[in-house]
Amino acid sequence: MAELRPAEILLSEAQIQKRVAEMALEIRKDYPDDLHVIAVLKGAFIFLSDLARHMPGHVSLDFMAVSSYAKGTTSSGEVKMVKDLDTALDGRNVVIVEDIVDTGLTLTYLQEILRKRHPKSLRTACLLSKPSRRKVEVTVDYIGFTIEDRFVVGYGLDFDEQYRNLPHIAVIQP
């Protein structure tokens, strides 16, 4: 397989930081009191840490991990729970924080299983959305950026576990 390298910067660090700060305030405005934020590992770890630091007041956090992608850039179509939450969701205002919504399969699965845990409300925040790739209709309440159908890395997103640490988002090309 030809080596892949991030080729073009799609979103700069400054663009991302500005938008994430805006999203944090928007979410906090909707939930000024109780707010429980759940990040989907690993991709959302940097997004969550920046988002949470821009939220005023007390916010509780939890993490879950699902695996939806085979190695490489193609979806396996399967979603599997790899790590469950540590805390109950009953009566909480819950916001799922995800790196990117692509086909929508992962989020549909997550929303379904989390709704069964009786949160008071359940919303979703995604840094990126690729609407042209959607296979199922899924509600995403807060979207950072809408992008075209290109495989991106950086700011938590990987290609074979590489590039998660980039402060910007880049397109990868063969």
Place of tokens 């402060």: 167
Among 13, 30, 34, 158, binds ligand 5GP (CB under 6 A): 158
How far is the C-alpha of 90 from the C-alpha of 103, rounded, in Å?
28
Say if residue 164 is exposed, middle or buried (CB neighbours under 10 Å; 0-12, 13-18, 19+). middle
Q: Which stretch binds ligand 5GP (CB under 6 A): 12-20, 25-33, 53-61, 155-163?
A: 155-163
Phi-psi region of 118 (alpha: psi -120 to 50; beta: other; left: phi over 0): left
How many residues touch ligand 5GP (CB under 6 A)? 19
Active site residue 86: no
List the interface residues with ligand 5GP, window 45-84 (CB under 6 A): 68-69, 75
Task: Give min distance, CB of 146 to ligand 5GP, in A.
Answer: 13
Q: Which residue, 106 or 124, has its beta carbon nearer to ligand 5GP?
A: 106
Joined tokens for residue 54: 């821009």
Active site residues: 102
